[in-house]
Amino acid sequence: MAEISFDDFLKVDIRAGRVTRAEAFPEARKPAIKLWLDFGPEIGERKSSAQITTHYMPETLIGKTLLAVVNFPPRQIGPFRSEVLVLGLADAAGEIVLISPDDAVPSGARLQ
């Protein structure tokens, strides 16, 4: 495992975003869901594509607060431009479980 400095860690901007919209993404090569997240007035709304269909349906994600890296460059995924990377952990089968705060936090709150 490579070590990084605390200054390197601070370069990764991880924020809380509230899901405002979610749709199936049938055009993706692997099953995915398109997400629109509100990161508050400083960052605004950003989009993401996530391969999370094993544990989530689009309608169950609306209103959920997720953690995402907001300072990666955008990636074009088929016809969809993914602007942030939502964060999750792999379960025992390797399927992604999203990371979400236990209590309410403001949209755009930065990981401390």
Burial classification of residue 17, based on how many CB atoms lie within 10 Å of its CB (0-12 exposed, 13-18 middle, 19 or more buried): buried
Residue 83 DSSP one-character state: -
Roughly how many angstroms between the first and final C-alpha of the chain, as a whole number? 22
Judge whether 39 lies within some domain.
yes
Judge whether 112 lies within some domain.
no
Contact (CB, 8 A) for 67 and 14:
yes
Instruction: State the CATH number of the domain containing residue 90.
Output: 2.40.50.140
Judge whether 108 lies within some domain.
no
Judge whether 1 lies within some domain.
no
pLDDT of residue 82: 97
Judge whether 89 lies within some domain.
yes
pLDDT tens-digit profile, the chain (112 residues): 899 999 999 999 999 999 999 999 999 999 999 999 999 999 999 999 999 999 999 999 999 999 999 999 999 999 999 999 999 999 999 999 999 999 999 999 999 9
pLDDT of residue 49: 97
Burial classification of residue 20, based on how many CB atoms lie within 10 Å of its CB (0-12 exposed, 13-18 middle, 19 or more buried): middle
- C-alpha dihedral over 21, 99, 101, 111, to 10 degrees? -100
Question: What's the domain count of the chain?
Answer: 1
Judge whether 6 lies within some domain.
no
Residue 110 DSSP one-character state: B
pLDDT of residue 45: 98
Judge whether 9 lies within some domain.
no
Domain membership of residue 31 as a residue range: 14-98
pLDDT of residue 100: 97
Judge whether 66 lies within some domain.
yes
Structure tokens of 24?
């199936």
